[in-house]
Chains A and B, each alone.
Chain A
C-alpha cells in the first residue's frame, strides 16, 4: 500500500497557473533565495521549512531554479487539497503535491511510505514538520515525528532546513488580502539521519538547524 503514484507531468493549464503564481509572488514579496548552506541540486532532497502561511511552498518554489521546481513536490494534507475543484486543480495540476492522509484511523496508505516512494522515484520533497500553520508568537511549533520516520527510512537523503521569513505578514491566517512585504527564503546546511539516533534527539537537532537560520533582530531582511 505504500507505492506513490508516478510523477505526473504537469498539464498545460497547470503550468500556466504555476508561472502566474510565481510572478504574483515576486510582485508582492520581491522574494530572494538565500542559498546559505548549500546550492541547488537535482539530487532528491527533503526540504523542511517553517510554516506560517498558505503561500509557504509557493515561495520556496519561486526561488528555485526552473529545473528544480519541476522535480520538487510539496507534501500536503489530502483532506484539505481534495476539497473543491480549485484546490484539487492547484494541488494536482499546479503543484503536483504528494497528498497524505492526516487521519490515522481512516487512512488507507502509510504516509511515510508514500513520501519515501516519491523520493525513490527521483523527486525532492518540501515538508512542514510543524504539521500546521504557526499562528503563535513562538518562532516554531514542536515538530511532529513524520520527519524522523521519513529520515530513518531514507537515511542517505540530505535534509535541508529552509527558513521562510516575513510571509506570515503578507497574508496572516484568516486574512484574504495580501500586503506587500519583502520576504526571504534561506537554505541552511543539509543534515542527515545518524544511525541509531533517537527520535527526540533527531527532532531537536533538526529544529535547532531551522531556528539557526532566522534573521536576528535588526540584522536586516
Chain B
C-alpha cells in the first residue's frame, strides 16, 4: 500500500566566495517539480564550468536544468508502473540523454542567435590564451562557452532513478540507513576535469540508474554540485549527510529546514570556496512520518506495494 506517500523537494543554492567578491553570477542552477497527486518529483542541478572558456556557463547551467526537467517529465509520462525495469533503465540511458543534449544545444543556439558574443567577452577570452590554435576554440566551438554538468533525479509511482553527466554527487538513502551512490564515480571527473554537455557526443558520457519501487523504497535522495562534497573533511563526513538531513527534517519539519538551508550551505561554500547547490527529495507519509522508523532504520513501516 503506497497511497498516502508524498514527495517533498527542498533546495538551496549559494554563490562561492569568488563570485560574491567579483560580483559575478552563481554558475550553478537548480530546477524541480513535485506533483503530489501523481506522487512524482523531479529535481535537476547543473554546475556551469565558470572557467575562462566557459564565460556563459551560468546560462548554460540554466538551460541544462530546464532541458533535463522537460525531458524527464516526458519520460516519466511514457512508462507505466508495470513496465519492465530493464527497459526503463535502457531507455533512461539511451533515449533521455540524447533528448537532454538536443534541447540544451537548441537553447544554446537560440541564445547565441539572440545574444552574439560581445567584444569584451571575446577579448577577455583571447587574452587568456597563449597560442593561436587555442584562441580559435571559442570561434570554432562557441557551445563550449556554455559548458555545464548535469545531475537529475526523480521519484515516480514506478520507482526512482537518476542521470549524471560530469562531477557532483548523488546519494540515496533507503531502508538500510546506509547511503549509497546509485551511479559509479566517473574517474575522468576528478581534479579540474569533468565531462560536460558542451563536449561532442555528450550523451555517451551520461551515467544512469533506475530501480523499481517493489525492489527498494527510497527515503531521501541528495543531489549536490561538487562544492558541497568538497567542503567535507572526508568521504565519511559527506556520507553522514543524508541521514542527518532526514533526521533534521523529521525533527524540525520541512519548512523550517528549507529556511535554514541557505545558511548551512553558506558554511559549505565558505569551506570549498565554490558555488554550492543542494537538492533533496524526501518521501514521507501524509501525516509527516517517514516511511521507515527513524530510530530503527531497518524497520519497514509503510507496508510496501
**Binding between chains A and B:** no
A residues at B contact (CB < 8 Å): none
